Amino acid sequence: MKIVSGGVCAAKGFQAAGIHCGIRANHSKRDLALIVSSVPASAAAVYTTNLVKGAPLTVTKRHISDGVAQAVICNSGNANTCNANGIEIAEEMSALTAQALGIRAQDVVVASTGVIGQPLNIAPIAAGIAPLKAALSDDGSADACEAIMTTDVKKKEIAVEFTVGGKTCHLGGIAKGSGMIHPNMATMLVFLTTDAAIAPAMLTKALQGDIRKTFNMISVDGDTSTNDMVAILANGLAGNDEITAEGEDFSAFMQALNTVNVYLCRGIAADGEGATKLLECAVSGAKDEAAAKTVAKSVVCSNLTKAAMFGEDANWGRVLCAIGYSGADVDVDKVGVSFRSAAGSVEVCRDGAGVPFSEKVAAQVLHESEIDILVTLGDGDGAATAWGCDLSYEYVRINGDYRT
């Protein structure tokens, strides 16, 4: 397996585009994205568990209930959530897209992201579909990626090349963060494409299995979005024998999927609103995997730990505190904690109590932009990793006047 360029266009038969259609006032910011497969594709998606759900999710769920999709249309700048006419608008977005592309409306995945509770005007989208279609190209992934961004600062895009049954396959994705990130059974917006041939049921299985270890293990601010969705389209153009069961081919596919998703997870966490540092909490020695996940998530979600990391302060008591209130069954007298980064590592806690450490070394370790918080629980074989970011002044500034 190797990393390749092209994002969602790396897989054969996929084109993408992103333009400014006018949902956003800022003319330099693209706000409408399109991803199209030249042939109908197997499709699967997972969605937020928030009871308040964006209208596009309801429509997408209905559209891909037959396991088939051919295009993804997504706008930023407005979430089309908590609006009386939300479903109608999402259906209209799908219909306009289908009409322009000459495909079926029920083969369109529709998504929206942005402010909640403000009616979404269909006019700029209706006017934008034709130029959007005209802009479709094999190099369009970056533009599509930009068009789904809200407060994101960096583009999150990747693709890999791998082999299934002797055939070269590709799997790529784009993702949008960067606030209201605390996924539960799904996450933010992530669109994945692959030319591997895989049956819809296996595609769903692969996606649902992988997100438990990837997108469900990230948090920027503890707020689970209303519009989270991860959707994947597999058009089979790589020519491999369709994956219809578990086995070597499915494993190869899962590995590619996991590589892409971990990359996007780290990208989303690192580009969390206002973030200056990516935090990775790796827990080992837990009673079981569930306990490890609970502890890892609790640490990356702790505002106090996040603020300490922003301040580059090795205040490990806050890590212990977050472990203690996580709800996981932990013997606190066996807990060990180290901080690690490109600059080295420093052990700060052993057997639940502090150990002497050099504040100078700790400061060097924490000065890096990617910090690993290593937690050992000494209680079993359970392990898990969660990703988050620090809490900065900028997070507050961004969210103090998001609407205005």
Query: Least Å distance between CB 56 and a second copy?
Result: 15
Q: Report the first-to-last Cα separation within the chain, whole angstroms.
A: 45
* 3-state SS assignment for residue 73: strand
Question: And the tokens for 22?
Answer: 């006018």
The answer to whether residue 402 forms part of the interface with a second copy (CB under 8 A) is yes
Cα 236 from Cα 196, distance rounded (Å):
5
In the bound state with a second copy, the residue whose beta carbon lies nearer, of 102 and 400, is 400
- Contact residue for a second copy among 308, 366, 371, 384 (CB under 8 A): 308
- Identify whether the C-beta of residue 205 lies closer than 8 Å to the C-beta of residue 243: no
The answer to whether residue 75 forms part of the interface with a second copy (CB under 8 A) is no
Cα 143 from Cα 29, distance rounded (Å):
10
The answer to whether residue 313 forms part of the interface with a second copy (CB under 8 A) is yes
Using CB under 8 A as the binding rule, the residues of this chain from 349 to 368 that contact a second copy are 349, 352-354
Question: And the tokens for 382?
Answer: 């359970």
* Candidates 22-30, 79-87, 105-113, 122-130; binding stretch for a second copy (CB under 8 A): 79-87
Bridge partners for 282 per DSSP: 374, 385
The answer to whether residue 322 forms part of the interface with a second copy (CB under 8 A) is yes
- Identify whether the C-beta of residue 295 lies closer than 8 Å to the C-beta of residue 282: no
Cα distances (angstroms) measured from residue 1 to each of 94, 162, 346: 35, 5, 33
Using CB under 8 A as the binding rule, the residues of this chain from 197 to 236 that contact a second copy are 221-226
The answer to whether residue 401 forms part of the interface with a second copy (CB under 8 A) is yes
The answer to whether residue 302 forms part of the interface with a second copy (CB under 8 A) is yes
The answer to whether residue 260 forms part of the interface with a second copy (CB under 8 A) is no
- Contact residue for a second copy among 318, 339, 376, 385 (CB under 8 A): 318
| Residue reference for tokens 């897989």 | 11
* Candidates 64-72, 146-154, 186-194, 305-313; binding stretch for a second copy (CB under 8 A): 305-313
Using CB under 8 A as the binding rule, the residues of this chain from 126 to 155 that contact a second copy are none
The answer to whether residue 116 forms part of the interface with a second copy (CB under 8 A) is yes
- Give the DSSP per-residue string, 143-180: HHHHHT-SS--S-EEEEEEEEETTEEEEEEEEEE--SS
The answer to whether residue 182 forms part of the interface with a second copy (CB under 8 A) is yes
Query: Least Å distance between CB 226 and a second copy?
Result: 5
- Contact residue for a second copy among 38, 137, 303, 369 (CB under 8 A): 303
Catalytic residue among 150, 187, 294, 385: 187
Q: Is 244 a catalytic residue?
A: no
- Identify whether the C-beta of residue 64 lies closer than 8 Å to the C-beta of residue 43: yes
Encode 268-292: b = buried (16+ Cβ within 10 Å), e = exposed. Answer: bbbbbbbbbbbbbbbbbbbbbbebb
Query: Least Å distance between CB 98 and a second copy?
Result: 27
Could you tell me which of 147, 91, 120 has the C-alpha nearest to residue 99?
Answer: 91
Query: Least Å distance between CB 349 and a second copy?
Result: 7
Size of the site for a second copy (CB under 8 A): 64
* Candidates 100-108, 115-123, 232-240, 339-347; binding stretch for a second copy (CB under 8 A): 115-123
Cα 363 from Cα 343, distance rounded (Å):
10
- Contact residue for a second copy among 38, 99, 117, 342 (CB under 8 A): 117
In the bound state with a second copy, the residue whose beta carbon lies nearer, of 78 and 204, is 78
State the Cα angle at 244 between 242 and 245, rounded to 5°: 135
Give just the sign of the alpha carbon dihedral 262, 264, 267, 269: negative
In the bound state with a second copy, the residue whose beta carbon lies nearer, of 28 and 401, is 401
The answer to whether residue 91 forms part of the interface with a second copy (CB under 8 A) is no
Residue 35 parent element (H or E): strand 32-47
Site residues for a second copy per CB under 8 A: 49-53, 79, 81-84, 115-119, 179-180, 182, 184, 221-226, 301-304, 307-308, 310-311, 313-318, 320-325, 330, 332, 349, 352-354, 391-393, 395-404
Q: Provide the annotated active-site residues.
A: 187
